[in-house]
């Protein structure tokens, strides 16, 4: 040991500096190599999940949240306002939340559908009539948001969780899409969500607590074709969410969650627009591999219970493409372009084969 020290002391300052730099470079190189190995391992795992169809096994997807994270029972007793509650993800959210014993506010345009959902929630046995408030309104009608918010506060006295779920999708090429259609999507998917959030936010700031859950989409950061207006509205929503999360830094009790599902079995695809506002796509031609709505909602509830800021939910190959776009964008860009070359031709010929377009 003494000999080693004596040798060290005869080094010049320049030699010691070289040794220090070499040590730092070696450490950084090893760290980068380890990180690269981890990323490659994750990608290989997802390739295996895709090719062997393991991605459809719920037990594999649920194992981590089930074993290590608080479950959705953490939401019991809260007042939860769900928009788009008449069908799809919103409807399933209402059913699963009702089993947890939350006070529910159900909003959408179709009153009769909301009443149907309410009856089924009451049939679960955990809620009484007074625990469910049906509040019909159109999210695109921003002038109604303040009145709706006051109605909820008058009914329950507080809003613990706002789930911005209402939205619309489309299937059409940019060159064929009317400008009115783009405007409608921005009004509903983006401005409607922003407006309702702004109405509820002061109440949460005053109480110093609350959860704002926004059902976004994987296409908010992964590019696709044939749904440009929808993608643009979701990209805008993603920017809004991230800015809001930063602005609420001094309000740690208020959590903003960006939920990004992939394709999900939902009535949103039945109401998908084509190139004009008044026309809808023939949903019988849609050929997507979609996640079960129940499974998607279960994962959403786990994310909400754990106050996660961003969650990607989907089957393979959608998650694999998302990871590639995040970590290897050049490769992902090449794959996506190659894939869509054929799909666009099929779409033009009337065969709707869409890879990443039927999102909530």
Rg of the chain's alpha carbons, rounded to an integer? 24
Q: Indicate the Cα dihedral angle 191, 193, 194, 196, nearest 10°.
A: 120
> What are 66's two structure tokens?
């089930």
Taken in order 75, 77, 79, 81, the sign of the CA dihedral is: positive
Q: Which of 56, 190, 230, 359 is catalytic?
A: 230
Distance CA 251, CA 211 (A): 11
- The first and second tokens of residue 319, run together, are 């998650």
Does 318 qualify as catalytic in the annotation?
no
Round to whole Å and give the CA distance between 27 and 288.
Answer: 45
- Asked whether the beta carbons of 311 and 259 are under 8 A apart, the reply is yes
Starting at the edge strand found earlier in the chain, the sheet holding 103-107 runs 132-134, 103-107, 79-83, 161-164, 210-215, 254-261, 310-313
Copy the structure tokens of residue 244.
């809001």
CA dihedral in degrees (265, 268, 273, 274; nearest 10)? -10
Distance CA 218, CA 357 (A): 10
Residue with the two structure tokens 């090449």: 334
Q: Which residues are catalytic?
A: 230
């Amino acid at each position: 040991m003494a000999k080693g020290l004596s040798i060290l002391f005869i080094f010049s300052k320049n030699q010691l500096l070289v040794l220090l730099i070499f040590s730092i470079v070696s450490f950084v190189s090893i760290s980068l190599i380890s990180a690269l190995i981890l990323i490659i391992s994750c990608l290989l795992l997802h390739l295996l999940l895709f090719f062997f169809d393991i991605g459809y096994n719920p037990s594999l997807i649920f194992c981590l949240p089930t074993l290590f994270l608080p479950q959705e029972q953490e939401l019991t007793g809260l007042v939860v306002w769900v928009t788009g509650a008449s069908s799809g993800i919103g409807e399933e959210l209402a059913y699963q939340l009702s089993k947890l014993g939350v006070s529910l506010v159900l909003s959408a345009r179709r009153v009769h559908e909301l009443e149907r959902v309410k009856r089924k929630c009451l049939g679960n046995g955990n809620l009484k009539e007074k625990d469910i408030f049906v509040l019909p309104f159109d999210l695109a009608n921003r002038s109604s948001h303040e009145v709706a918010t006051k109605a909820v506060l008058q009914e329950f006295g507080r809003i613990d969780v706002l789930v911005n779920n209402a939205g619309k999708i489309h299937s059409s090429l940019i060159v064929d899409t009317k400008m009115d259609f783009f405007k409608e999507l921005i009004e509903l998917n983006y401005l409607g969500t922003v407006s309702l959030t702004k109405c509820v936010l002061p109440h949460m700031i005053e109480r110093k607590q609350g959860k704002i859950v926004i059902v976004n989409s994987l296409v908010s950061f992964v590019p696709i074709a044939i749904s440009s207006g929808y993608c643009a509205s979701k990209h805008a929503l993603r920017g809004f969410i991230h800015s809001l999360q930063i602005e609420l830094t001094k309000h740690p009790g208020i959590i903003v969650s960006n939920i990004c599902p992939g394709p999900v079995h939902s009535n949103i695809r039945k109401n998908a627009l084509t190139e004009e506002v008044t026309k809808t796509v023939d949903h019988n031609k849609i050929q997507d591999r979609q996640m079960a709505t129940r499974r998607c909602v279960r994962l959403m509830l786990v994310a909400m219970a754990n106050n996660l800021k961003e969650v990607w939910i989907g089957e393979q190959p959608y998650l694999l493409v998302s990871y590639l776009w995040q970590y290897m964008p050049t490769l992902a860009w090449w794959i996506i372009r190659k894939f869509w070359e054929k799909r666009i031709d099929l779409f033009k010929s009337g065969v709707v084969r869409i890879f990443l377009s039927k999102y909530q």
